[in-house]
Structure formats: structure tokens, C-alpha cells
């Protein structure tokens, strides 16, 4: 990135074909001043952010990329006033995609921070679809008819801003990793359009790489969630309402740290299912120590990774990699599920929606149809949670009331430390 920036600023030349005069990029103090400010702010933000807030930072930074693409489009239109269809079409399309990425990322940031609630209905889905097709129609119209005027860029900007907000508003928290991935691909596409605009192969290639990678990841995550990509784009990727299934009259069973340690010590195979609660407790390193303590007792330990566990794509992979958990121990959902019936103990640490059997048993549930890690098929289940609070999807978890499930309440990090100590005494 540094080489690209310095190369562009210091080596770029504009040659006047009539006079032969060569000019270089000016306003260098302003350019380097902006770079310095951005570097300082970005560095401080990245160093201070907690691992639990990393998804919010990803959303924020991605939104800034979309805003940058939108600003470039505005400046280009108001400075050069292009007349060619292709030139205008790319500018308007870049503005639309960049603005949607910016607005959507800001709403996603608010949702991840818990400051914005889910708002959605079938009417809103129709509204979203109407807005996006209206924007595309307007873009084609103003690109074909330059006489309509450049001021239409502000209409496209305003409509795209509204669509970006409405598009993310109805999407449930459990689906947020897919949305973040999709918005990231939008920013890449906007950058690629900028490459077309300036005939810049580096910008084009970089944008294509980001856009295609984000799109592929989004499609894979949609497949893992048993949803379609169009559901995401149309804003229909959310819960349609709370589950009608009630847990009233059902009871849970608790277990002590000592009994948990004994059960784990004499098990042959254990699978750990990490979730956002593990990140909140910053217990990934302690979890790795727990894994090593179990292996010292001769227990085979693996981690079951759901594609959308956490708050961003690959959240659990990043979390456990930070703690130096061997990559081969991270088993994807499709690989681990067939092994669970022969697993002695499944330990769920801070995961909720990704192990909820309601996804398979309750048609009224918002997560119905979503593939899950089938923890309920294991011989014994231990769920580590602070409380009986609902997951990010806002629904009850049937797994907690399973006869094979034992609840181990407490902070994940503190509880794991106690388990490690107990294991050494078994």
C-alpha cells in the first residue's frame, strides 16, 4: 500500500500533447497531511480495539472504503462533466454501490454495538426491491441522456443512502457475518469500477480481488445458512418474527466445575463449540490451555466451527488462531456433525444460535432451515454461559433443556481456569 501511494504521488505525470508540458500531482502538503491524520487515527483505533469489538471495526473500515468510492464518483462527475454513456454509467454505478456499502456498514456497526434494533416487514422488502430497481433505472436513464444534468448524481446518492439503511435494518443479528461479507464485496466492486474510470489496472485488479473474494465468501456462507443470495440483497434475510414455541414448564440441569472436570477427564473424545461468548470473555488462550490439559489426560479434542459463529466471517477461526490452536483441530460443521454421535462430551462455550435444534424442529423459528452444529446428538452436552440470556437471534435455545445437557454458569475464562485446575487433580 505504501509503495502504491508513494508511486502514484511521486511518479505520476500528466503530459500536454499540444505543448509537451509535463505536470506532476500538486497539493502534496494536503495529501501527506491527510495520510498522516488517517494513519494516526487508524493506528490508535486498531491498537485500542478489543477482540470482541473487531466486527464493528471491520464494518467501520469497510464503510469508509465505500464512502471513498462514492466521493470519487461525485468529484469526477462535478469536475469533468463526462458525456459518454460508459463513463457516466460507471460513475453513477460506483456512486450507488459505494454509498450502499457505506450506509449499510454504518447500520451494521450500530447493530453490532447493540444501538440499532432490527426493523423489518414484508412491506419493507417490497420497498427495498422497488428502490434498488428505481435507482438502477435512473442510472441507465441519466447515462443515456447527459442533457438530464449532473445534479441527478445527488438524487442517486440520496436514494442509495436510503436503500443502504433499509437494506440492512431488517437483517437479524445472527445473519450479520453474511451481511458484512456482502458489504465488503460491494466496496471491492466500487473500487474496481474506479479502476475502469481511471484506466488504472492496479485499482481494477485490487477491486476485483476484494469484490470476487467477498462475493464467493458470501455465497458460501449463504449456502451454509441454507439461504439464497437474493434474500440478502433484498433485505429478506432476517427473522420474520419470534418463535411461537415456548420453553415454559421445562427445566434445566446444572453441573459443578468438579463434576465437569471428572466427566471430561474420563472421556475419550471431546468437541468444543466456540461462540461469541468466548470472544466476550477473551478466553481463547485459556481455552487452548484447557484443550492441552485434556490432551495430557489422553482425550482427543477438536473444535467445531460454524460458518457464521461470532459476528464476522471467520470470527472463531481468527480467535482460535490468535491463541495458537492447531489449524487441523478446527473442524467445519459438515465434517464434525457425523462424528458427534460418537463424541463423549460436547462443550458449548458462548455459542447459542448455531447449536439451537429449533433450526431443525420449529418451523416458526426465525432460524428454521439453518444448518447447525448438531450438539444434541452427542452423548453428553455441557453448555458454558453467564446466564440463560437468549442469543443474538433473540430466541430460546432448546438445547439447554435437553435431558443430556448440563449448564455450567459463569464467565468463560474464569470457569475454564477452574476446570484446568480441577483436571490436574483428577
Residue 241, pLDDT above cutoff 60: no
Q: Is 303 helix (H, G, I), strand (E, B) or coil?
A: strand
Helical H runs in 247-363?
Answer: 257-265, 276-280, 284-296, 315-322, 333-336, 358-361
Read off the pLDDT band of 239 (50, 70, 90). very low
* Domain range 257-425, CATH architecture: 3-Layer(aba) Sandwich (3.40)
Which string of DSSP letters, residue by residue, matches 53-77? GHHHHHHHHHHHHHHHHHHHHHHHH
Residues near 17 by beta carbon (within 8 Å), at least 6 away in sequence: none
Give per-residue pLDDT as tens, 34-50.
999 999 999 998 898 87
Give per-residue pLDDT as tens, 101-119.
999 999 988 888 878 877 7
**Catalytic center residues:** 353
Percent of the chain residues past pLDDT 70, beyond the cut: 92
Q: In this structure, what C-alpha cell is assigned to residue 140? A: 441507465
Q: Tell me what pLDDT residue 373 has.
A: 93
Q: Tell me what pLDDT residue 248 has.
A: 61
Q: State which of 179-193, 307-321, 328-342 shows the largest mean pLDDT.
A: 328-342
Give, in order, the Cα–Cα distances in Å from 56 to each of 45, 108, 118, 259: 11, 8, 17, 38
Q: Tell me what pLDDT residue 244 has.
A: 45
Whether 77 contacts 87, CB under 8 Å = no
The whole-angstrom separation of Cα 33 and Cα 43 is 15
Q: In this structure, what C-alpha cell is assigned to residue 305? A: 466451527
Q: Tell me what pLDDT residue 120 has.
A: 67
Q: Pinpoint the residues of the chain covered by CATH 3.40.50.1220.
A: 257-425
Q: What are phi and psi of 239, to 5 degrees?
A: -70, 140
Position with higher pLDDT, 255 vs 388: 255
Position with higher pLDDT, 162 vs 18: 162
The whole-angstrom separation of Cα 136 and Cα 158 is 13
The whole-angstrom separation of Cα 231 and Cα 211 is 19
> How much is the average pLDDT of 218-236?
72
Read off the pLDDT band of 232 (50, 70, 90). low
Whether 174 contacts 112, CB under 8 Å = no
Read off the pLDDT band of 237 (50, 70, 90). very low
Residue 124, pLDDT above cutoff 90: no
Residue-wise burial string across 404-424, b where 16 or more C-beta atoms lie within 10 A, e elsewhere: bbbbbeebbbebbbbbbebbe
Q: Tell me what pLDDT residue 173 has.
A: 61
Give the residue among 104, 101, 111, 230 at the shortest CA–CA distance from 174: 111
- With residue 190 as reference, give the H or E element that holds it: helix 176-198
Whether 413 contacts 285, CB under 8 Å = no
Residue 272, pLDDT above cutoff 80: yes
Q: Tell me what pLDDT residue 347 has.
A: 95
Position with higher pLDDT, 286 vs 371: 286
Give, in order, the Cα–Cα distances in Å from 421 to each of 261, 268, 289: 9, 20, 11
Give per-residue pLDDT as tens, 164-185.
998 888 876 667 778 888 898 9
Give per-residue pLDDT as tens, 379-414.
999 999 887 766 555 677 888 998 999 999 988 899
Residue 240, pLDDT above cutoff 50: no
pTM across the whole model: 0.75
Helical H runs in 113-175?
Answer: 122-144, 152-168
Percent of the chain residues past pLDDT 90, beyond the cut: 39
Mean pLDDT computed over every residue of the chain: 85
Range from 122-126, 232-236, 308-312, 324-328 carrying the lowest mean pLDDT: 232-236
The whole-angstrom separation of Cα 136 and Cα 267 is 59
Give per-residue pLDDT as tens, 46-74.
898 876 777 888 889 999 999 998 998 89
Amino acid at each position: 500500500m505504501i509503495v502504491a501511494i508513494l508511486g502514484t504521488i511521486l511518479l505520476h505525470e500528466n503530459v500536454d500533447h499540444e505543448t509537451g508540458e509535463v505536470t506532476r500531482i500538486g497539493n502534496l502538503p494536503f495529501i501527506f497531511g491527510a495520510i498522516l491524520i488517517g494513519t494516526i487515527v487508524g493506528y490508535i483505533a486498531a491498537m485500542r480495539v478489543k477482540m470482541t469489538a473487531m466486527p464493528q471495526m471491520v464494518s467501520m473500515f469497510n464503510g469508509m472504503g465505500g464512502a471513498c468510492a462514492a466521493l470519487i464518483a461525485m468529484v469526477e462527475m462535478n469536475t469533468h462533466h463526462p458525456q459518454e454513456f460508459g463513463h457516466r454509467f460507471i460513475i453513477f454505478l460506483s456512486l450507488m454501490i459505494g454509498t450502499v456499502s457505506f450506509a449499510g456498514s454504518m447500520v451494521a456497526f450500530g447493530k453490532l454495538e447493540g444501538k440499532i434494533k432490527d426493523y423489518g416487514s414484508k412491506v419493507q422488502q417490497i420497498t427495498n426491491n422497488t428502490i434498488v430497481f428505481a435507482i438502477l433505472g435512473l442510472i441507465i436513464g441519466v447515462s443515456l441522456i447527459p442533457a438530464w444534468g449532473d445534479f441527478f448524481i445527488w438524487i442517486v446518492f440520496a436514494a442509495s443512502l436510503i436503500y443502504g439503511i433499509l437494506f440492512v435494518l431488517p437483517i437479524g443479528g445472527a445473519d450479520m457475518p453474511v451481511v458484512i461479507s456482502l458489504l465488503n464485496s460491494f466496496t471491492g466492486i466500487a473500487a474496481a469500477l474506479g479502476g475502469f474510470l481511471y484506466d488504472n489496472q492496479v485499482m481494477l485488479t485490487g477491486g476485483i480481488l476484494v469484490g470476487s473474494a467477498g462475493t464467493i465468501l458470501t455465497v458460501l456462507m449463504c449456502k451454509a445458512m441454507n439461504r439464497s443470495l437474493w434474500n440478502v440483497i433484498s433485505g429478506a434475510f432476517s427473522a420474520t418474527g419470534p418463535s411461537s414455541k415456548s420453553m415454559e414448564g421445562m427445566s434445566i440441569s446444572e453441573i459443578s466445575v468438579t463434576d465437569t472436570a471428572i466427566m471430561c477427564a474420563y472421556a475419550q473424545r471431546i468437541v468444543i463449540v466456540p461462540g461469541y461468548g468466548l470472544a466476550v470473555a477473551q478466553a481463547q488462550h485459556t481455552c487452548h490451555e484447557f484443550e492441552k490439559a485434556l490432551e495430557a489426560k489422553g482425550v482427543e479434542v477438536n473444535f467445531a466451527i460454524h460458518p457464521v459463529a461470532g459476528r464476522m466471517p471467520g470470527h472463531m477461526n481468527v480467535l482460535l488462531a490468535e491463541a495458537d490452536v492447531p489449524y487441523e483441530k478446527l473442524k467445519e460443521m459438515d465434517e464434525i456433525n457425523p462424528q458427534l454421535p460418537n463424541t463423549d462430551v460436547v462443550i458449548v462455550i458462548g455459542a447459542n444460535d448455531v447449536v439451537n435444534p429449533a433450526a431443525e424442529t420449529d418451523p416458526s423459528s426465525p432460524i428454521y432451515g439453518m444448518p447447525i452444529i448438531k450438539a444434541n446428538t452427542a452423548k453428553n452436552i455441557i453448555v458454558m454461559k453467564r446466564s440463560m440470556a437468549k442469543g443474538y437471534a433473540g430466541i430460546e435455545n432448546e438445547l439447554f433443556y435437553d435431558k443430556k445437557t448440563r449448564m455450567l454458569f459463569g464467565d468463560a475464562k474464569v470457569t475454564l481456569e477452574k476446570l484446568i485446575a480441577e483436571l490436574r487433580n483428577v
